[in-house]
Structure 1
Amino acid sequence: MSESQYESERGIYILGGEGRHRGFWGTQSKSRGWGTVAIIGVGMVFTPALGWVAIVSALVGVTVLVILTSGTHNGSIIERRRRSRRHQLAQRTHADEFIPYDADRAALLTTALEQTNKTKDKADRAGRIEWARELNAMRANPDGCDGMGWLQSGRGVPGIAWHGPTGEEPYLSVAFSVSGQLRGMESSENVVRGAEAFGAFQASKAAPGSLMRMMQSVTRVLPADTALQEFWVLNNIDEDAPDWAKKSYEEVLIESSRGAMVQRHYVVGRWPVNARFVEQAREYGTGRDGWRKLMAAEIESFRRGLLDSRHSWAEPLTARGTAAVIRHMQNPSRPLDLVRDMEPTSTGERARGGEYSAHVVEGIDPESGEHVEWWHRTAVIRAESLTVAQRRPLWLLELLVGRELDMIRTVSFHVELIPAGEARHAARRDLVSDMAAEISETSNGKIPLDEGKVKILAAQRRRSDLAEGSGHHGANWVGFITITTDSRDRLASASRELAEVCANEVGIQRLEWLDSYQAAASGTTWPIARGLRPHVPTFGARAMRVIAGGGDKEAIA
């Protein structure tokens, strides 16, 4: 290939076509596969006694199961029923409400409930219901960051969040505020180089020896803030200037900021707290001190990687800074960098429940002191929802700076870094599975579905990318986008606008709205690296990890 041909191919990537590895049942749901086996098994057991009735019943059962588990653009019937039950349970128990924990208020409510325990007065009983409801909604963290605490939360030092979400492996996370790779007018060559540099940075963290296993990028899109310009005017305008001139400058600020949106960028690293992490931390010190010293080295390495990937600056957020960002994303009336009244443990804004498709936050504007209400809705972007097409590094530009979208939004992508050896084995296994399925269909005289060809091409691309010596590693990724408005009607129209832009401009065929648990879904776009289900390594990969252990205890590092 000539140099010019090579240059023309650089910066072109193909995304979409497959979203998960092939298992025993291929890519179809496990519930359908095992349910079919169970129904057929029961039918075979009762066939000797019932005869054709058992056979017909088994066929009807399999047909009903297929109908219930068939995926549509609105999800399967079972999924919709599950969401409906979840919403009904949340309404009945008020579990979707959130009130920041107040120790004094909680003690007062507990005392009131104890004192009126045996009362028969109707007014007291009505009060008891309201007190119990408030006490049940009072929690330390909102649903989006449930189980989150801090390993390091001092002033002027990087904030290290410690997460223990239910049913997941504990992990540490650190959020970095970054400049973004592009500043002003940039050539296409610089765009490609930036993408390649960030890819190389991710590849360096995907090696088997790396402790960090997941990375999250967050872009916050919000209206332009003219505070800095207004501050400049107050300090530089001529006091003798006529009133009409001062009024004219104010009009310029208003007109220039009308409809303008700005972006703030963050990158988050995630370190699982496993036996290997604990063992390496012992080399730095005992207990939590060793953890902090190990994380200090990891944070500095992460920062150097961000700078090498063409970010002009990258600074880790303090615990108060991270909490301020989380609070702002719930209540945009709070400035993004307002930390003067923040405590690291204060991560939640009051939220009311009862909404199926929204996370409704009731906050206070710190500038005016007035009560405000913000409506949030989150959707997931999966690999199988993307059209299979050639994409350049700026393929998400319409989501980030599109003129058709004027709502506040946050776009976040989570990438799990998988060592090349494991990814290469999975790609080879998927390719064999897909080719076998196509051969099976063609040998029976059937015309293969386009879906099968797309999967084969995707597996072939992955296997080619992961060839020995390429320097590439595997990745498991998912994207989320949260939109924010100030009313239900505006949220409904914004949802339609976003879906239209995604389908027509970005190539996202389907946005999967995470309805019935929107309060928890909001956390997927907060800078806490939460929302991606880790891939399940093969038995061989798990065995090799056990054999590898944590390294030689006698080694320096």
Structure 2
Amino acid sequence: MTRLSVLGGETGGRGLLGAGMSRQRKVGLVAACIVGGFLTLSLHIPGAVITVCLIIAVLVATTGENTLWTQHVARARLRDAAKRGTDVYRPYDAAEWERLASNTDRSERKAVIRALAALRQMPPGADGMGWLDMRASHPGVAWHAPRGESEYFSVCFAVTGQLRGIQSSRAVDQAGELFGRFQASLGKLSSLASGVQTLTRVLPPDSARHEAWVRSQLAPLPERVTGDDETARRARRAYTGHIEAVRSYDALLRQMSRGAMISRHYVIVTWRNDARFAAAAATKGPGRDGWRELMADEIASIRRRLQAAGEGRVDVLTARQTAAVIRNMQHPDWPIDQAADVDPTLFGMASDPAPKAHHVSAPGPDGHAADWYHATAQAVPASIATGPRTLLWLLPVLTNMRLPIIRTVSITRVVVPTGQAKRSARQDVTSDQAQQLSDRDKGRLVDEDTVVRLNAAKRRRADLAPGTGHAGVEYLIHVTVSARTPEALAQARRQMSEAFDNSLGIEQLEWFDSYQPAASGLTWPIGRGLRPPKTSWGDRFERRTARD
């Protein structure tokens, strides 16, 4: 029997106003109380009336799943993007930039500004991304400085996975335990790596490797010759046989891949570019040379740990290979393994505005323009129905889909050091128990949501007991579906929502309809989507003073 684990019921930190209240409502109520306080002091009774009206307005605007405030923010975001021209993306081209910048026609000024805003180095999903190491035949180390977030580095590892073929329940349990140990190792105070993203890409078979194999097996294509002697006839037969062999193998690949889907698995590890990283890199060498030397050691260590975790074959992707994966996720017609023609500094595909979708319109490998539509959603832990689950609980959305949907499922985790996670669990248990006692003292029925949160916090505290070797973790699940038409994309969205609800017990997927182009990056192999957990001054001091 495969081991069962209870998931669900988690809502994050409790805070001063409790856990059952959204961030929008908390901010709105605090602002309403501050403004209302000044109005009451200055206007007395009229000010108090206005304060009550403000509080009621906040409660109404933040009630429900798709609140009025959320709708307002989404519309404002779309209007702002259209006004500034950032709803369109075109890969940066120096000649085009110079042509637009030299346009002095005042009647075309707005159009020129929009066109200049569309020309960007990186696509919306990889805003602020560059490379610390993009050398050929070297592990690709991406350097990220997203707007409003801390800098970090990421490296993508391609793995074959822990389970292949039919495996026993014991093998499944051992695989889960090994990967759990790998994640826990990132939560040690001595660890510089801080986050891990596991990503599964489900797509039609990629023929790039098969085509490379058949090219290596065939003799060089002979030249076509004229003449009627025996040598010319033999040469023509060789030429015809070569072409027929290639066409036959191509037909076989097309027949075998019709309606079939394969899975590719990746593990992305992230490192924060903070004071601890800089201090460790300084011992390796000056400046960025020291950073690269440190990252080389870290990458080798992570690769060994992934192999020890039973992840099968572990390959560190180069910058070109990582960019090829991202190109495939934007335009699935491009083979995911075709990296020779990719520019790691300019891998974005042209995109245009589309309702509730990331619309990519760019040439495929055959040179003809093609359209692809993508939609990304997230399943936050609070939407996961509480209940026991096996280690294979995500399998239905990875393999057993009714339609052959091209999709990417990503789980981004930020590992929380054990001490910090224990303190958070104890605080949450205390807060929820105090809420229960308060409800009983006031003669109110105990809120079911409080009971669920308390049980989840108690499980978390038990998992972090001394001797378990566990660390804390904050995680988010993201999924991206792709289709060639808006109608097919809408169908894929419906089926994916049904699969998450019926098969996984995730009650709701939150689709990022007002910023789908940027949301696509949440399922790219670059470790986006989850900010580092908030830490107290004591936790930061403890990590800074840690010694290897």
Same fold (TM over 0.5): yes
- Asked if 2 retains the 8 angstrom alpha-carbon contact of 1:280 and 1:550, the reply is no
Q: In structure 2, what is the Cα distance between the partners aligned to 1:532 and 1:409?
A: 20
Q: In structure 1, what is the Cα distance between the partners aligned to 2:159 and 2:422?
A: 32
Q: In structure 2, what is the Cα distance between the partners aligned to 1:83 and 1:523?
A: 19
1:463 pairs with 2:461: yes
Number of the residue aligned with 1:187: 168
Identify if the C-alpha distance between structure 1 residues 41 and 281 changes in structure 2 by more than 3 Å, giving closer, same or farther. closer
Q: In structure 2, what is the Cα distance between the partners aligned to 1:213 and 1:459?
A: 23
Structure 1 residue 395, shift from structure 2 partner: 0.4
Moved more, 440-449 or 38-47: 38-47
- Asked if 2 retains the 8 angstrom alpha-carbon contact of 1:333 and 1:364, the reply is no
**Count of aligned pairs between the two proteins:** 527
Identify if the C-alpha distance between structure 1 residues 178 and 232 changes in structure 2 by more than 3 Å, giving closer, same or farther. closer
Structure 1 residue 46, shift from structure 2 partner: 4.9
Number of the residue aligned with 2:355: 356
Gaps of 5+ in 1: 1-7, 118-124, 552-556
Output aligned runs, 1:114-193, within 5 Å: 114=104, 116-117=105-106, 125-126=107-108, 128-193=109-174
In structure 1, the residue corresponding to 2:193 is in which secondary structure? coil
- The amino acid across from 1:456 in the alignment is L
Number of the residue aligned with 2:233: none
Structure 1 residue 343, shift from structure 2 partner: 1.8
> What CA deviation, in whole Å up to 9, does each residue of 1:259-281 have, x standing for no partner?
22100011111001111111111
Output aligned runs, 1:463-482, within 5 Å: 463-482=461-480
Number of the residue aligned with 2:264: 264
Output aligned runs, 1:538-553, within 5 Å: 538-545=536-543, 548-549=544-545, 551=547
Identify if the C-alpha distance between structure 1 residues 529 and 247 changes in structure 2 by more than 3 Å, giving closer, same or farther. closer
In structure 1, the residue corresponding to 2:199 is in which secondary structure? strand
- Asked if 1 retains the 8 angstrom alpha-carbon contact of 2:407 and 2:479, the reply is yes
Q: In structure 1, what is the Cα distance between the partners aligned to 2:176 and 2:465?
A: 20
Q: In structure 2, what is the Cα distance between the partners aligned to 1:347 and 1:253?
A: 27
In structure 2, the residue corresponding to 1:26 is in which secondary structure? coil
- Asked if 1 retains the 8 angstrom alpha-carbon contact of 2:362 and 2:370, the reply is yes
Gaps of 5+ in 2: 219-237
Number of the residue aligned with 1:310: 310
Number of the residue aligned with 1:365: 364
Output aligned runs, 1:233-312, within 5 Å: 256-312=256-312
Number of the residue aligned with 2:379: 381
In structure 2, the residue corresponding to 1:213 is in which secondary structure? strand
> What CA deviation, in whole Å up to 9, does each residue of 1:450-471 have, x standing for no partner?
1111001000000000011110
1:110 pairs with 2:106: no
Q: In structure 1, what is the Cα distance between the partners aligned to 2:132 and 2:456?
A: 41
> What CA deviation, in whole Å up to 9, does each residue of 1:127-173 have, x standing for no partner?
x5544332220011111111111111111010111111111111111
Moved more, 207-216 or 129-138: 129-138
Number of the residue aligned with 2:13: 21
Q: In structure 2, what is the Cα distance between the partners aligned to 1:522 and 1:182?
A: 28
Match of 1:91 among 74, 82, 97: 82
Q: In structure 2, what is the Cα distance between the partners aligned to 1:329 and 1:44?
A: 52
- Asked if 2 retains the 8 angstrom alpha-carbon contact of 1:87 and 1:356, the reply is no
Moved more, 533-542 or 96-105: 533-542
Q: In structure 2, what is the Cα distance between the partners aligned to 1:95 and 1:199?
A: 41
- Asked if 2 retains the 8 angstrom alpha-carbon contact of 1:409 and 1:483, the reply is yes
What is the RMSD computed on CA atoms of the aligned residues?
A: 2.7
> What CA deviation, in whole Å up to 9, does each residue of 1:273-319 have, x standing for no partner?
11111111111111111111111110000000110111221011001
Number of the residue aligned with 2:68: 77
Q: In structure 1, what is the Cα distance between the partners aligned to 2:530 and 2:320?
A: 25
- The amino acid across from 2:8 in the alignment is G
Moved more, 82-91 or 42-51: 42-51
In structure 1, the residue corresponding to 2:491 is in which secondary structure? helix
TM-score normalised to structure 2 length: 0.90
Q: In structure 2, what is the Cα distance between the partners aligned to 1:515 and 1:379?
A: 9
- Asked if 2 retains the 8 angstrom alpha-carbon contact of 1:11 and 1:195, the reply is no
Percent identity at matched positions?
41
Structure 1 residue 58, shift from structure 2 partner: 2.6
Identify if the C-alpha distance between structure 1 residues 489 and 207 changes in structure 2 by more than 3 Å, giving closer, same or farther. same
Identify if the C-alpha distance between structure 1 residues 41 and 519 changes in structure 2 by more than 3 Å, giving closer, same or farther. closer
Moved more, 224-233 or 278-287: 224-233
TM-score normalised to structure 1 length: 0.89
Output aligned runs, 1:502-517, within 5 Å: 502-517=500-515
Structure 1 residue 96, shift from structure 2 partner: 1.4
Output aligned runs, 1:319-468, within 5 Å: 319-353=319-353, 355-366=354-365, 368-468=366-466
Number of the residue aligned with 2:57: 64
Number of the residue aligned with 1:207: 188
Identify if the C-alpha distance between structure 1 residues 34 and 501 changes in structure 2 by more than 3 Å, giving closer, same or farther. closer
Structure 1 residue 18, shift from structure 2 partner: 1.3
Identify if the C-alpha distance between structure 1 residues 151 and 254 changes in structure 2 by more than 3 Å, giving closer, same or farther. closer
- The amino acid across from 2:13 in the alignment is H
- The amino acid across from 1:403 in the alignment is M
Match of 1:492 among 478, 490, 493: 490
Identify if the C-alpha distance between structure 1 residues 541 and 69 changes in structure 2 by more than 3 Å, giving closer, same or farther. same
